[in-house]
Amino acid sequence: MSKIPGRPEEVFREFVKDYQSILGSDLLSIMLYGSGARGEYIPHKSDINFLVLLRENGMNNLPNAFETVSRWHKRSVNTPLFLTKEYIQSSCDVFPIEFLNLKAHYKVIYGEDFLHNLVIEKKFVRLQCERELKGKLLQLRQQLLETLGDKKAIERLIVRSAPTFIAIFRAMLFLYNIDIPRRSTDVLHLIAQRTGVNQSVFHDIVKIKEGSKKLSAGEAIPFMQEYIEQIKKLSAVIDAM
């Protein structure tokens, strides 16, 4: 059970069986999302993410999943995102970026395809994009100071922050009526084309996140300053939309 899967598909059957056993008829659907659904899963680096759609009554049975959740962590499977239809339908105005990213690339491995007809309105996406970019810009500046200029701490900050910004960039493509590509590098290419930001900075961020690029001690602070500058530019872009 503890073997890290080479592909997300290797765990589908057993994962579904486990949650059918726990949730029974309250289990409506299980969907793969995140890097596994986009074809960007990297064994020993990526996590496998599932959305588990339940009837409302099923939420009361979640304590029965304690041991199962812990066991699947050993195979790089994150704690599932347990949601009901009602919660999703009533929350698209509050978390439009999150649900847009879910809907953009997912794979149903059990049950119904609830996300297919989910409607996400652009006005809510634009508002959250502005709020997230401006808020994360403030956080990046503060967190850079907290690294005390340490190269490894800066690299960890880049790795932590990258997924959030890439999710925002996918949402911005949606606002531009551009189909959202699967690969993060393609998302960054399209955003750079559309907004004029420095594409090479964001490609390096992806490489740092994937572990294929390291910054030297002399590069770390200037790189982080340029990263912050590009986020500042994107904040101005979304503010003008």
- Give the domain CATH number at 90: 3.30.460.10
pTM, whole model, 2 decimals? 0.88
| Inside any domain, residue 1 | no
Confidence band of 177 (pLDDT split at 50, 70, 90): very high
117, 136, 162 — which closes off a domain? 117
Query: What count of residues does the chain have?
Result: 241
pLDDT of amino acid 3: 87
For residue 78, which amino acid is it? N
Q: Give the burial string for 7-20 (b: 16+ CB within 10 Å, else e).
A: ebeebbeebbebbe
Run of H or E residues at 81: strand 81-84
pLDDT of amino acid 210: 85
With a CB cutoff of 8 Å and minimum separation 6, the contacts of 223 are 154, 201, 204, 215
| Inside any domain, residue 2 | no
Is 165 in the same domain as 201? yes
Domain that holds residue 87: 8-117
Is 129 in the same domain as 98? no
76, 100, 117 — which closes off a domain? 117
- The 10s digit of each residue's pLDDT in 219-240 is 999 999 999 999 999 999 999 9
What value does the mean pLDDT of the chain take? 95
Is 156 in the same domain as 214? yes
- The 10s digit of each residue's pLDDT in 120-157 is 999 999 999 999 999 999 999 999 999 999 999 999 99
pLDDT of amino acid 229: 96
pLDDT of amino acid 186: 93
- The 10s digit of each residue's pLDDT in 42-86 is 999 899 999 999 999 999 999 999 999 999 999 999 999 999 999
Is 75 in the same domain as 131? no
For residue 173, which amino acid is it? L
- Considering 36-40, 79-83, 162-166, 196-200, the range whose residues carry the highest mean pLDDT is 79-83
| Inside any domain, residue 23 | yes
Is 89 in the same domain as 128? no
48 DSSP assignment:
B
Long-range CB contact pairs, 38-44, < 8 A, 24+: 38/105, 38/182, 38/183, 38/184, 39/182, 39/183, 40/182, 40/183, 40/184, 41/7, 41/8, 42/210, 43/4, 43/5, 43/6, 43/76, 44/4, 44/76
Q: Minimal CA–CA distance to 100: which of 173, 149, 201? A: 173
Residue with tokens 């409302």: 56
pLDDT of amino acid 2: 64
pLDDT of amino acid 4: 92
2 or 203, greater pLDDT: 203
85, 117, 149 — which closes off a domain? 117
Locate 110 and state its tokens.
Answer: 């059990």
Q: Is 217 exposed, middle or buried (0-12, 13-18, 19+ CB in 10 A)?
A: exposed
Is 131 in the same domain as 229? yes
The answer to whether 234 touches 195, Cβ cutoff 8 Å, is yes
pLDDT > 70: percent of the chain? 99
Is 111 in the same domain as 144? no
Is 76 in the same domain as 148? no
The tally of domains found in the chain comes to 2
pLDDT > 90: percent of the chain? 93
